[in-house]
């Protein structure tokens, strides 16, 4: 069985599609970094008139082939990109989702976005980790909230990651056990460029990592769950 991954007309690199799957351990890359630097350009019609990512179903695994059709003065090329033991239908769905996000430039995630010293700080973590409480403590220190609970991310024309609140919940904050609060305008910012990603975890992991949202690479720092004011003070210290 062969399947072509449909993608809207957009130009991005193979690594933008493969990296999210590789980080989860769902695929094993076969072409190396140089191969992943190739651009995908999908036309609106004709799956093989541009460059396509084809999935071939082998017993107990799927193989992805990058295919470039012949053009003027070009014989056409193909490249084995990765192998995966993930169910092919699920793998195809995940690839379509990733390509859709890359093409549209929008993504909604569970988390908070706060403007700290003019920088957009994205805070994520499991439910009950203290994302909203930490954001509230930062507001008490004079910083501003962009989004609580749901953050709408997009890649802007300059290639930077921008974040805002979903229209229906802009200006509201939910604190577990205390209710929903409407914030005053001076505590709210419409939008911010995301500079850092704070991931709340049970224990702090040393060193900086990176995460990719909408094809944009953002530095990530993991902080341990702790008192909200202590977390807010730590974040202020990091970005002063």
Catalytic residue among 174, 204, 209, 217: 204
Query: How does the average pLDDT of the chain come out, rounded?
Result: 83
Average confidence (pLDDT) over 169-174: 88
Q: 228-239 and 131-140 helices cross at what angle (nearest 10)?
A: 70
- For residue 110, indicate whether it is catalytic: yes
- DSSP per residue, 38-50: SEEE--SS-TTSS
Joined tokens for residue 31 = 């072409």
CATH number of 107-239: 3.40.50.300
Catalytic residue among 149, 170, 199, 229: 149
Joined tokens for residue 216 = 């944009």
Would you say residue 162 has pLDDT above 90?
A: yes
Instruction: Please report the pLDDT score of residue 151 as a whole number.
Output: 92
- Where in the chain is CATH 3.40.50.300? 107-239
Q: What is the pLDDT of residues 214-234, one digit of tens each?
A: 888 899 998 887 777 888 888
Catalytic residue among 11, 110, 166, 209: 110
Q: What is the pLDDT of residues 24-83, one digit of tens each?
A: 889 999 988 888 888 877 654 444 455 778 888 888 888 888 877 654 344 557 888 889
Would you say residue 133 has pLDDT above 70?
A: yes
Do 143 and 134 meet the contact criterion of CB atoms below 8 Å apart? Answer: no
State how far the Cα of 61 lies from the Cα of 84, in Å rounded to an integer: 6
Q: What is the pLDDT of residues 91-124, one digit of tens each?
A: 888 888 788 777 777 888 889 999 999 999 999 9
Instruction: Please report the pLDDT score of residue 88 as a whole number.
Output: 85
State how far the Cα of 164 lies from the Cα of 175, in Å rounded to an integer: 19
Catalytic residue among 94, 107, 131, 228: 131
pTM for the full predicted model: 0.62
Establish how many alpha carbons lie within 13 A of residue 198's alpha carbon, considering only the half-sphere containing its beta carbon. 28
Do 82 and 102 meet the contact criterion of CB atoms below 8 Å apart? Answer: no
What dihedral do alpha carbons 108, 111, 116, 120 form, nearest 10°? -20
Sort 212 into a burial class: Cβ within 10 Å, 0-12 / 13-18 / 19+: middle
Would you say residue 191 has pLDDT above 70?
A: yes
State how far the Cα of 151 lies from the Cα of 8, in Å rounded to an integer: 24
State how far the Cα of 205 lies from the Cα of 193, in Å rounded to an integer: 25
């Amino acid at each position: 069985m062969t399947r072509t991954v449909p993608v809207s007309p957009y130009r991005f690199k193979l690594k933008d599609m493969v990296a999210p799957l590789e980080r989860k351990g769902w695929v094993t890359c076969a072409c190396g970094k140089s191969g992943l630097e190739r651009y995908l350009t999908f036309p609106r019609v004709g799956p093989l008139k541009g460059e396509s990512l084809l999935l071939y179903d082998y017993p107990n695994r799927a193989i992805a082939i990058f295919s470039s059709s012949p053009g003027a003065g070009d014989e056409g090329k193909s490249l084995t990109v990765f192998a995966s033991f993930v169910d092919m239908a699920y793998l195809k769905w995940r690839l379509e989702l990733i390509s859709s996000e890359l093409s549209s430039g929008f993504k909604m995630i569970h988390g908070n976005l706060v403007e700290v010293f003019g920088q957009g700080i994205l805070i994520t973590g499991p439910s009950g980790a203290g994302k909203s409480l930490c954001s509230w403590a930062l507001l008490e220190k004079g910083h501003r909230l962009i989004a609580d609970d749901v953050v709408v991310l997009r890649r802007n024309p300059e290639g930077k990651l921008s974040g805002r609140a979903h229209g229906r919940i802009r200006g509201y904050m939910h604190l577990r056990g205390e209710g929903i609060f409407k914030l005053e305008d001076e505590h709210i910012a419409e939008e911010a460029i995301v500079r850092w990603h704070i991931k709340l975890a049970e224990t702090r992991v040393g060193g900086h990592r990176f995460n990719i949202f909408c094809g944009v690479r953002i530095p990530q720092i993991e902080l341990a769950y702790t008192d909200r004011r202590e977390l807010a003070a730590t974040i202020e210290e990091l970005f002063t």
